[in-house]
Structure 1
Amino acid sequence: MADKTTFSCGDSLDIQQVSSLYKRLQKSVEKAINIELKADLVAKADTAGLQMFVSLRQELKALGGDIIWKKPSDELLQAAKLLGLTVSLGLPVAAE
């Protein structure tokens, strides 16, 4: 198993994408315990999409790994903040 693999989040992390994202992410989990998420193109994120990443992070942490966010978009950061998931997702906390 590799130490790290990269995964592109695309532009939408919402309920309509959760099933396909989950299947693709499971393949990444099989490859590595650290997953670098390219999130600079995310324009839409909802509760279902972000909850999936909270679960993914918990799964990776149990294996000794984690999520590494690469350039999370402002929209992603705002949605996480609004839902109170910034810390659970391991996203940077912006200064108020």
Structure 2
Amino acid sequence: MRRDVFQAIADPTRRAILTLLAVQALTPNALAEHFEVSRQAVSKHIKILNECELLEKEQDGREIYYRFDPLKMKEVDDWLQPFKQLWESRFTQLDKLLDKLKSE
């Protein structure tokens, strides 16, 4: 089954993993230390993130390090763009209204 980036970020644990990996590359064991779930549960999350192409994998001896690959997140940014424009438009309208009310 093909997974997409939206499935990856739908889960709060996966979002937390991405946040940790955005700071530094970590092994699955090091990642698991940050969560109150089993190492196997963290591995399943890593697998999903990997399938969604959000991780880069690097072998260093016997250890495997994962790091966040932000390129795939562009898909989320592209999807959010129309909403950002709508919010900005509404905030601009609100600012104008507040300015008008202040001047009265």
Which structure shows the higher strand fraction?
Answer: 1
Task: Give me the TM-score of the superposition, normalised by structure 2.
Answer: 0.29
The structure with the larger Rg is 2
Answer 1 or 2: which has greater helix percent. Answer: 2
